[in-house]
A and B are shown apart, each in its own frame.
Chain A
Amino acid sequence: MSLPLAYIVEDDEIIATIFSTAVKEASFETVIIRDGIEAMQKLEAQIPDLVVLDLHLPGISGINILRFIRNDPRFEKTRVLIASADATQGEFMRLNADRVLIKPIGFHKMRDVASELKPQ
C-alpha cells in the first residue's frame, strides 16, 4: 500500500525541508511546493491527503488556496494544516482548517500533528 500524500506549501526553503522531513517521519509521501500558483496546479493534478499550508505565499495566498480546497468536493477528504507566522490571521482560519499551528513549530510537533491527521 502506498503512503498517503502530503503537500508542503511553504516558501521558506529551510522550513519546507524541516516540515517535509517531519511529515515523512509521520509516514507520508511529501511534495514541497514553494508558491501559490504551483500549489493550485499540483492540487488540480493530484488530490493530497494532507496540505501543510503557509498563509503568506507568493502568487496565490494560502487563504485563497484553503478556500479553493474547502469549496471543491474533490478535496472532501483532504486535511489542511495551517502553519503560519501570522498569529492573528491563523486564528481566523481556525474554523476552516483542520488544525492551525502558529510558528515557531518544532520538528516533533509537526511530526505528531501530521500523524494525528493521517487518514485512518
Chain B
Amino acid sequence: MNVQTVLVTLIFFITAVVGGCLAYWVYRKSQDASVTPFLILTIALSEWSFTYGMEIAARTLAEKVFWAQFQYLGISLIPVGWFLFAQAYSGNEKWSNSARAYFLYIIPVFTILAAFTNRWHGLFWAEYEIVYSGQLSVFHSIHYGPVWWIFFIYSYILLLWGSLVMLWAHRTRGKVYRHQFILILIALVLPWGSNALFLAHLSPIQYLDYSPLAFTISAAIFGWGMFRLRIFDLMPITGQPVLHQLAAAAVVLDIKNRVVEFNSAAKRLFSIRTEDPIGMPVEKALDWWSKLEPAQRSAIEANQDIMLYIDGMRNYFSLQITPIWNSRSKLTGRFIILRDITGDKLAGEAMALAQVKTEFLAKVSHELRSPLTSILGLAEMLDYGVYGALTEDQRGAVKMVYESAQHMTRIVNDLLQQSRLERGTFRLDVTEFSLSDLLDRLSNREKASANLKGLDFTVELAPEMPKTLRGDPLRLYQVFSNLTDNAIKYTHKGKITVRVYIVDPAHFAFEVQDTGVGIPNELQRVVFNPFQQAGVVPNQKENGFGLGLSIVKQLLSLMNGEISLASEVGVGSTFTVILPIDPAWEQKT
C-alpha cells in the first residue's frame, strides 16, 4: 500500500474516531431534544468516514463496491440527521415530536436496500469502475441509477432545508447567539463547499470526496460550540416573536438558571445590569431576582401576586412561572412572566381603605354615644341641682362641659351621617311640609347666635314661592342650617342674608350671603370634600371636622339639587343651593 493511500485512509479513520467521540460526548453532556438527531448525524458520519477509509484502502473493485455499499448506511442517514437537528435547534419541535419524522427515513431505507442489492438490478450504480488519482485508487460510478438520483435530490433538499432553518432561527439573537451564528455558518458552509468542490471535480485529489471530513469538522464545531458557547444548553426554547410581542416582562431561564431569552418589556421594567445578559446566571443578570422569595426563585410552576420594591417604590406584579419541557419530557427551563398590576392593586387597596374608613366612622360614632350620654346627662343633672346648689362659677363650668359635649354630639352625628352617605344606606324621609315654618325655625335659631356676635341675620322669602313643598324637611333644615351656621361662624362683622326665590318654573334657590372672611380661589374647589376646612382664620379656633359642607353636597345630590359658591377673601361668600320645586326625590332615595 502506498503512502498516500495510508495517509488518506488514516485521515478518514481519525475522522471516524472523532465522529464517534463526538457522539459519545454529546450523549453524555446534554439532555436536550436536539441531541437525538445530532447523535444520528455524528454516528452516521463516523460510519461513513470509517467505511470510506476502508474503501480507499481496498484493492479490488469487488472489495471497493462492498465498502461503498456500507458507506450508504451512514450517508443515507446524514441528511435526515442534519434536517432534524436543524429543526430541533431552532425550537421547532413538531418534527422531533411527531411520527412524521419516521417518514423521513423511507427514502434512506430504500437507498440502503438499493445499494446492497445493486448487483441484481443496477438501479443504484448503473456502471462503475476504479479510478486512479495520484497514488489513490477510488471507487467511481460512471453512471448513477434512478434510485441514486432520487436519494441525491432528497438529500440536497433536506440539507438545504436544514441549513435555511438554522439561518432563519438566528435572525434575531443576542451576542452569545451571534457567536453561535458565525460558527454555525462555518459549520454549514464547510460540507456544502467540499461537496461543491467534489461535484465540480475541483478537489485537490480528484475523485476523492472530502464530505465525511467536512461534515465531521462541522459536527466538531457544533460540539465545541456546545461546550464553549452552550449551543445546546442555551438553545432558544421559545418562539421569539411571541416573546417580544408580550406587554408583560418575560424572561426565559434554562435548567441552570441562566438567562436564555428576555423581551424588551423585561429590559424596560428592570435595570438589566449588563448590556447583554444572555447566558448569565439570572441573579447576576436581573436586579430583581434576588428580591424574590427563595421558594419563588426555585419554583417550577407558580402563579401569584408579588410585591417588589423598585427604586424605593412599591410595585405589584403577577408572577407566572411555567416549566418548559422538551420532547422527552425533561425540564429544560422556565418561562417567567411578570405583569405589572401596581395600578389595579393600589386601586383595590384604596377601595378597601375607604371601606375600612366608612366602617370606622360608623363604629366611632356608635361607641361615642354612650359616654356622651353620661357627660351630657351628668352636666344637666349638676346644672339642675340634683347634687345640690352650684355656685355661679361652678354653674359656668358645668355649662362649658355641657356645650362641649353638645359640640361633640354634632360631630358624632356628622360622622354617622357621612358614613351612611358613603355606604349608600342613607335614606330621605319625604313628606309635604311648610317652607315658611321651616324658615321660621331656622331664623329663630340663627338670629340668636348671629346677634350674640353682633351680626344682622335676615331672611327674604320671595312671595311667589309655593307655600308647601315636598321633600325631607329634616334634611333640608340640616342643609340650610349647615350653611347659615358656617356663615355665622366665619363672619365677624356685617350681616348674613338668606334669600329664597324662584329660579325657573321648576327650581328654587336658597341663598346664604355673608360679609365674612371669604374663601380663597384655590380652596373653593375642595371645600365640599369630606374632612376639608378652608381654614382661612388662623387666629380663630374653628371647631369641626370639615364634614358640614361635604354632607350638604351629598344630601343635595340625593335631593337632585346643586350647590355653588362665589367668594372673595375679605369681602364674603355666597352659597347658592338650587333645588327642584316638585322633586322626584323618591326616585333617588
User: Which A residues fall within an 8 A CB radius of B?
Assistant: 12, 14-15, 18-19, 21-22, 85-88, 102-108, 110
Q: Is the CB of A18 within 8 A of B374?
A: yes
User: Which B residues fall within an 8 A CB radius of A?
Assistant: 365-367, 369-370, 372-378, 380-381, 384, 386, 405, 409, 412, 416, 425
Q: Is the CB of A107 within 8 A of B380?
A: yes
Q: Is the CB of A104 within 8 A of B384?
A: no
| Residue in B374, B375, B376, B386 whose beta carbon sits within 8 Å of that of A21 in the complex | B386
A–B complex contacts, Cβ < 8 Å, 29 sampled:
A12-B370, A14-B374, A14-B377, A15-B370, A15-B374, A18-B378, A21-B381, A22-B377, A85-B366, A85-B369, A87-B365, A87-B366, A87-B416, A103-B370, A103-B372, A104-B373, A104-B376, A104-B405, A104-B409, A104-B412, A105-B373, A106-B376, A107-B377, A107-B378, A107-B380, A107-B386, A108-B380, A108-B384, A110-B377
The answer for the CA separation of A88 and B362 in the assembled complex, in Å, is 10
Instruction: Write out the residue numbers on chain B whose beta carbons fall within 8 Å of the beta carbon of A104.
Output: 369, 372-373, 375-377, 405, 409, 412
Instruction: Write out the residue numbers on chain A whose beta carbons fall within 8 Å of the beta carbon of B412.
Output: 104
| Residue in B373, B378, B381 whose beta carbon sits within 8 Å of that of A103 in the complex | B373
The answer for the CA separation of A46 and B53 in the assembled complex, in Å, is 124
Tell me the minimal C-beta distance from A53 to chain B in angstroms.
Answer: 14
Besides A104-B412, A107-B377, A108-B380, 4 other A-B contacts (C-beta < 8 A): A103-B373, A104-B377, A105-B376, A105-B377
Q: Is the CB of A103 within 8 A of B384?
A: no
Instruction: Write out the residue numbers on chain A whose beta carbons fall within 8 Å of the beta carbon of B377.
Output: 14-15, 18-19, 22, 104-107, 110
Q: Is the CB of A85 within 8 A of B381?
A: no
The answer for the CA separation of A102 and B373 in the assembled complex, in Å, is 10
Tell me the minimal C-beta distance from B452 to chain A in angstroms.
Answer: 22
The answer for the CA separation of A110 and B377 in the assembled complex, in Å, is 9
Tell me the minimal C-beta distance from A57 to chain B in angstroms.
Answer: 13
Instruction: Write out the residue numbers on chain B whose beta carbons fall within 8 Å of the beta carbon of A102.
Output: 369
Of B365, B375, B381, B425, which is in contact with the most chain A CB atoms at under 10 Å from its CB? B381
Instruction: Write out the residue numbers on chain B whose beta carbons fall within 8 Å of the beta carbon of A15.
Output: 370, 373-374, 377
Tell me the minimal C-beta distance from B505 to chain A in angstroms.
Answer: 36
Instruction: Write out the residue numbers on chain B whose beta carbons fall within 8 Å of the beta carbon of A14.
Output: 374, 377-378
Instruction: Write out the residue numbers on chain A whose beta carbons fall within 8 Å of the beta carbon of B366.
Output: 85-87
Q: Is the CB of B369 within 8 A of A18?
A: no
Tell me the minimal C-beta distance from B379 to chain A in angstroms.
Answer: 8
Instruction: Write out the residue numbers on chain B whose beta carbons fall within 8 Å of the beta carbon of A19.
Output: 377
Residue of A nearest to B382 (CB): A107
Residue of A nearest to B381 (CB): A107
Instruction: Write out the residue numbers on chain A whose beta carbons fall within 8 Å of the beta carbon of B376.
Output: 104-107
Residue of B nearest to A86 (CB): B366
Instruction: Write out the residue numbers on chain B whose beta carbons fall within 8 Å of the beta carbon of A110.
Output: 377
Instruction: Write out the residue numbers on chain A whose beta carbons fall within 8 Å of the beta carbon of B370.
Output: 12, 15, 85, 103
Tell me the minimal C-beta distance from A90 to chain B in angstroms.
Answer: 10
The answer for the CA separation of A104 and B366 in the assembled complex, in Å, is 10
The answer for the CA separation of A77 and B367 in the assembled complex, in Å, is 33
Tell me the minimal C-beta distance from A29 to chain B in angstroms.
Answer: 17
The answer for the CA separation of A12 and B369 in the assembled complex, in Å, is 12
Q: Is the CB of A18 within 8 A of B373?
A: yes
The answer for the CA separation of A107 and B405 in the assembled complex, in Å, is 13
Instruction: Write out the residue numbers on chain A whose beta carbons fall within 8 Å of the beta carbon of B409.
Output: 104
The answer for the CA separation of A108 and B406 in the assembled complex, in Å, is 14
Residue of A nearest to B378 (CB): A18
The answer for the CA separation of A25 and B365 in the assembled complex, in Å, is 29
Residue of B nearest to A91 (CB): B427
The answer for the CA separation of A110 and B381 in the assembled complex, in Å, is 11
